[in-house]
Chains A and B, each alone.
Chain A
């Protein structure tokens, strides 16, 4: 299976996701933001980091870079596009997924492990996953998901909420919300569920001795789903 990871100036999780994808059997290529053509891919990943130094709004400059037109076309034709952390911020700025990511409610950069509950398994990302709660890592300053009331209604009507912040048992409550996101939202799909944006980093959870293996479970399952 072929994957592509886009590197923007200021991306810093691009190599981590490259390592993760290769570890679980993807044939991954790194793609520079200034390129125009996307290599043939089954999956495109927009990595975490601080693209363009977070100038203007996080992800806003990267969303206008040259390669993004190809990524948008790929997504609109049904291709799988996953944005992690800054990649999620880029996705909302392109309009591929609804809403925005505001500064964290308590103005702190948050770097810690969290639990997230999967809400919807009728998609290529979570189908056949044998766990409902994953332990993943977050590291962000702007992860406070916000959208308008109309958007929230549409998101609910179309089952677009991908993951919620929760506790180890999967309870979704205010006290487990690290950043003030509406309804504890940690990740969201587009209507068609081929585009996924999420704040947590599955690529940081692929080694039992370093962190944990819930990311491994996610990537192994993703590869099997795409095969």
Chain B
């Protein structure tokens, strides 16, 4: 089954890329933005039919490689 993971920067970590994207969007006329934060999205097809087991595997991947827990948080979403 496919499991997705979203990696986001923690609140107190500076996100210069997000800031530049924010400025660009402002310049394009999107003027009502409070903040932009950039993150990462992974879609992982795990050879496992039990959703809780599949999620557990992806959680371990996030902790060990996909996210750096000093600066990032992760959220796991079961897609199908």
Residues of A within 8 A of B (CB): 56-57, 60, 64, 93, 99-100, 102-107, 144, 146-148, 151, 180
Closest Cβ neighbor of A57 among chain B residues: B68
| Other A-B pairs, 9, CB within 8 Å; known A105-B16, A146-B14, A151-B70 | A56-B65, A57-B68, A100-B71, A102-B14, A104-B16, A105-B14, A106-B16, A144-B14, A180-B14
In the assembled complex, the Cα of A144 lies from the Cα of B13 at a distance in Å of 11
Decide: A102 and B66 in contact? CB cutoff 8 A.
no
Q: Report Cα–Cα, A52/B20, bound state, in Å.
A: 26
> What are 18 A-to-B residue pairs whose CB atoms are below 8 Å?
A56-B65, A56-B66, A60-B68, A64-B65, A93-B68, A99-B70, A102-B14, A102-B71, A103-B16, A105-B14, A105-B16, A106-B16, A107-B20, A144-B14, A146-B13, A146-B14, A146-B71, A180-B14
| Chain B residues, CB < 8 A from A99 | 70
| Complex CA–CA separation, A148 to B65 (angstroms) | 19
A103 touches B17 (CB 8 A): yes
Binding site for A on B (CB under 8 A): 13-14, 16-17, 20, 65-66, 68, 70-71
Cα distance, A55 to B36, chains bound together (Å): 22
Main secondary structure of the interface of A (DSSP, over half): loop
Which A residues touch B13, using CB under 8 A?
102, 146
A100/B14 in contact, CB under 8 A: no
The answer for the CA separation of A105 and B16 in the assembled complex, in Å, is: 6
